[in-house]
Amino acid sequence: MSDKKAQLTVDGIDGTIEMPVLSGTVGPDVVDVSSLTGKGLFTYDPGFVSTAACESKITYIDGAKGVLLHRGYPIEQLAKSSDYLETCYLLMNGELPNAEQKKDYVSSIMNHTMVHESLVNFFKGFRYDAHPMAMMCGVVGALASFYHDSLDITDPEHRKVSADRLIAKMPTLAAMCYKHSKGQPFMYPDNSLSYAENFLHMMFGNPCEASKIDPVVAKAMDIIFLLHADHEQNASTSTVRLAGSSGANPFACISSGIAALWGPAHGGANEAVLDMLQEIGDESRIDEFVKRAKDKDDPFRLMGFGHRVYKNFDPRSRVMQGICDEVLGAMGAENDPLLKIAKKLERIALEDEYFVEKKLYPNVDFYSGIIMKAIGIPTDMFTVIFATGRTAGWIAHWDEMISNPYKIGRPRQLYTGYTQRDYMPLNQR
């Protein structure tokens, strides 16, 4: 805490209200407004865009400078030198593991990759054309019914086991969603494979032959998981924390995060990129749609460009840009019509004065959408992939909150409805 104070003068209230100003290790100072309630005042901040609802040591973002740090480590360094499971360990434990710790952690995760056979019955209850996110919401929440042995949220060991189970089982459940939609048999995990390889094996493999996994694709998949592992206090992470503040079990909390992520303004953004490419349809129509995007009176928007948080280049998209080219080359997908549209849009966004001036650079959703399309992942699975990677961040934030003193979330409101009025009997209305 700093020695600085903020002072507020309000008409109708005598004197000046003095509030502490808190300083983090980096980033803007924060005014502690908790004393306002005693004065009969609340703050009004739609979308909580100016409100720090918690204290955290996990992730820091400086959107103006295009900086994303996990426990102090730049995302570019992690993407270049680390892998997804090591990043999960970092998010959960605060430090990078040594060789023995990483070996033990990876072993622990891989030992939890299978799901209970009874969970197969849950999938049988879904229509074949159910959206994969609808299935994920249901089956992840249902995990709580299988693991009564680790639901004491006050027990650090229970929290660790639950975290390992969630991180381990999400790729299995994601692949099961896909297989169910295709009417194909579920694939058991193969723990001799890496995390990303195992997912691709369960997603695209079949019991009739050995899985053939392209190392370029496996690397891209691991980096997609890593780049989506955490992103500070976004809508879904805040939802997980809010649900957790009630004392709900971790499986229910992660399910709530999946529900929040499902929205097109959040996790559905990379799905919207492919929808946009399909709407454009042909390279010959790109100029037409770019012109529409520049017209403030036209409702059309180019999806996958710019970011609410980053007012500069999204640091994750720089990593994705190189991976995208590698995957397109490995898959021989350079001539795919939609991907050709995407690459031309990318060139326009990086060179056109309008996009450069407004800093509408291609973001992580743009590149991840292209990569997953090239790999053969259907559009409605994109957000499921996002949820699989983000589970590490969700559970890390949940554990951080539960490990420290916390209060149940209870936002206030600015009431604009009727004042008190008397009930009128039905025959008098």
Active-site pick, 307, 314, 380, 397: 307
- Measure the CA–CA gap between 19 and 22, rounded to whole angstroms: 10
- Measure the CA–CA gap between 378 and 191, rounded to whole angstroms: 25
Inter-helix orientation angle 84-93/156-182, to 10°? 150
DSSP 376: T
307 given a catalytic annotation: yes
Inter-helix orientation angle 156-182/382-402, to 10°? 170
Residue 295 tokens read as 């017209």
Active-site pick, 83, 230, 365, 380: 365
State the burial class of residue 311 (Cβ atoms within 10 Å of its Cβ: 0-12, 13-18, 19+).
middle
Query: Three-state SS string across 259-325, please?
Result: HHHCCCCCCCHHHHHHHHHHHHCCHHHHHHHHHHHHCCCCCCCCCCECCCCCCCCCHHHHHHHHHHH
Q: Element (H or E) spanning 160, and its range? A: helix 156-182
Q: Are 217 and 331 in contact (CB under 8 A)?
A: yes
Q: For residue 416, how many other CB atoms are within 10 A of its CB? A: 5
Q: Are 83 and 226 in contact (CB under 8 A)?
A: yes
- Measure the CA–CA gap between 313 and 303, rounded to whole angstroms: 15
Q: Are 266 and 233 in contact (CB under 8 A)?
A: no
End-to-end CA gap in the chain: 58
- Measure the CA–CA gap between 94 and 397, rounded to whole angstroms: 12
Q: Are 231 and 237 in contact (CB under 8 A)?
A: yes
362 contacts: CB under 8 Å, gap ≥ 6 = 304, 305, 317, 321, 345, 346, 349, 350
Catalytically annotated residues: 307, 365
